[in-house]
Every structure is written in structure tokens, then in C-alpha cells.
Amino acid sequence: MQVRVARHAGVCYGVERALELAEDVATTGAPVHTLGPLIHNPQAVAALRGQGVEVAETLEDVCDGTLVIRTHGVDPAIIDAAREKGLDVVDATCPFVSKAHDAARLLIDEGYSVIVVGEADHPEVEGIRAHAGHEALIVESAAELPSPLPGRRIGIVVQTTQSAERLEEVVAAILPRAAELRIFNTICSATAQRQRSAEELARDVDVMVVVGGRNSGNTARLVEICATVNARTHHVETADELDPTWFEGAALVGVTAGASTPDRQMADVIEAIESLG
């Protein structure tokens, strides 16, 4: 049984940067907290905890030391409040997410009614909305668009891990109904590359395995995309979750991983698949 890895797969620059920032701060010996999990990968978050980086659910849970802002970004008011508490703040917001923040602020400044394409309860989307103004509308699909739209001049920003197809669907539904439509395609290049590579590979293999956290939006999107072209698509966080029956009769297995999946985690899954035969 042969294993083929997607051309673009696994941890991205923004995640690597965040992990390095958190690990560097951990070496100081001072208390270190992230506000929510630094990335959506339970195994990586557990490894950080082993280095002394604890997860705080709210700012009230952090009394001293350093607060690391997660890759998904936050409301800027939270950073201001942390500094007012005397905390050292390390901003590990992904640069692509920061671009979405900038785009949202620009649209508001120029008088557009902002629509954010993304998951309403996702921390990244909550951060984008904070920059767009809390009156910004969040939709995950065209079916969620209200009638009428919130204005005649519509500006769109996108959760960085959304698919291009989802964005196109929403844009197509808005276009006939708006007098003016301005779109910032803030899907990050790493996400787009991983999605294209995963779909291409899934079409060519007998079985597709996607590695990454179940709480990871970008990993979930890869699973969704692969499953549309290959019914034998499986999502695992670790090699221990592999089921040998998935690979019965398979000659070629494809593997990809979300942008929040460290390389070692993906490598362990590949090794385990190869050991099956």
C-alpha cells in the first residue's frame, strides 16, 4: 500500500510563528497564558501546557505574567484591558487574520455595510467582527443572507479558512441585490493551497486521510472538500485513531493535514498507515 502526501499540507507560517512566540515566552519562567487555545490542535496545546503555557478562558483568569494572543486574533479592547491590568502582551495573531481586520476597518471607514463570510461562533470571526463593528452581519452561506440586505453598499471580508466556493456562493447571491459590492478575499494563501492540493489528491487515491484537530475550522474544511470527491475520506487527530478496515483493498492512500497540524503529528499518521501494509 502506497502513501502519497498532498503537495501542500500541514502547519502554516502563522501557526509556526505563534508556536515559536509562545515557546520563547515560556523559557522566561514567568507565568504564561494564552487567551483560549493558541491554535485549534489539542495535541499541540497539551504540549505547550507541558512547557508551562496555560490556557485561560477569559482575561479575568489571568492575574500576572504574559498573555499570548491566539492566532485567531481578538477584539482590540481585550488587548487594551490586558495592558491596563499590567500584563505583558505577545500578539500571535496570524498575519493573514490581521489583514482581514484591516480590511474590515477600511470598509467601515468608507461607509460600507459589512458582511463577514464565516462561522458565527468561531473566535477568528468574532475578532473580525470586533474590527468591523458589532452591527456587521455574519453568514456562513448564501441561505443565511437576510432580505433585505443591511444596506445598498455592501463590503465583504472572509474568515481566512473558508473555501473559495463558499465565498463565490455568497457573492453571487448578493450581487444582483446590491448597488455597490466591494470584496476583500481574505482567504489566506496557505488555506487555498491546502484545499486545492487536498481535492486534487483525493480524486486520485483509494482512501483519503485528513489529520488535524476536530476543533479546527481549516481541517474541517479539508475533510468536507475531500469527502465531496472521495467517499472514503477519514478525519483523525492522531495515529491511534486509524482503523485498519478503512484501508481494505486500497493500493493508494492520500494524506493531508490542516494548517494547524504540526509536522510530527502528520508524520506519525503516515508512518502508522505505511506499517499497515
For 72, list phi and psi in degrees, rounded to 5: -75, -10
DSSP H or E run through 200: helix 189-204
> What is the DSSP secondary-structure string of 105-165?
HHHHHTTPEEEEES-TT-HHHHHHHHHH-TT-EEESSGGG--SS-S-SEEEEEE-TTS-HH
**Same domain (yes/no): 196, 179:** no
Instruction: Determine the structural domain holding residue 267 and report its residue range.
Output: 2-10+190-275
Task: Return phi, psi of residue 219, to 5°.
Answer: -70, -40
pLDDT over 80 at 70, yes or no:
yes
- According to DSSP, residue 204 is labeled H
pLDDT at 79 > cutoff 90: yes
Around 9, how many Cα atoms within 13 Å sit in the side-chain half-sphere?
27
pLDDT band at 217 (very low <50, low <70, confident <90, very high): confident
Among 141, 156, 187, the domain boundary falls at: 187
Q: What is the domain count for the chain?
A: 3
Residues 181 and 194 in one domain: no
Chosen domain end from 163, 187, 211: 187
- pLDDT surpassing 80 at residue 36: yes
> Do 207 and 264 have their domain in common?
yes
The amino acid that residue 118 corresponds to is G
Q: What distance in Å separates the CA atoms of residue 132 and residue 155, rounded to the nearest whole number?
A: 10
pLDDT digits (tens, 9 = 90+) for 97-108: 999 999 999 999
Whether the pLDDT of residue 277 is over 80: the answer is no
Give me 79's grid cell: 488587548
Reduced to 3 states (helix: H, G, I; strand: E, B; else coil), residue 69 is: strand
d(CA 22, CA 151): 42
> Tens digits of per-residue pLDDT, 225-266?
999 999 999 999 999 999 999 999 999 999 999 999 999 999
Q: What is the pLDDT of the chain when averaged over all its residues?
A: 95
Domain closes at, from 187, 208, 229: 187
Enumerate the active-site residues: 124
Together in a domain, 75 and 145: no
For residue 24, the domain's CATH number is 3.40.50.11270
Average pLDDT for 80-104: 96
| pTM, full prediction | 0.87
Mean pLDDT calculated for residue range 135-163: 95
User: Domain holding 131: CATH number?
Assistant: 3.40.1010.20
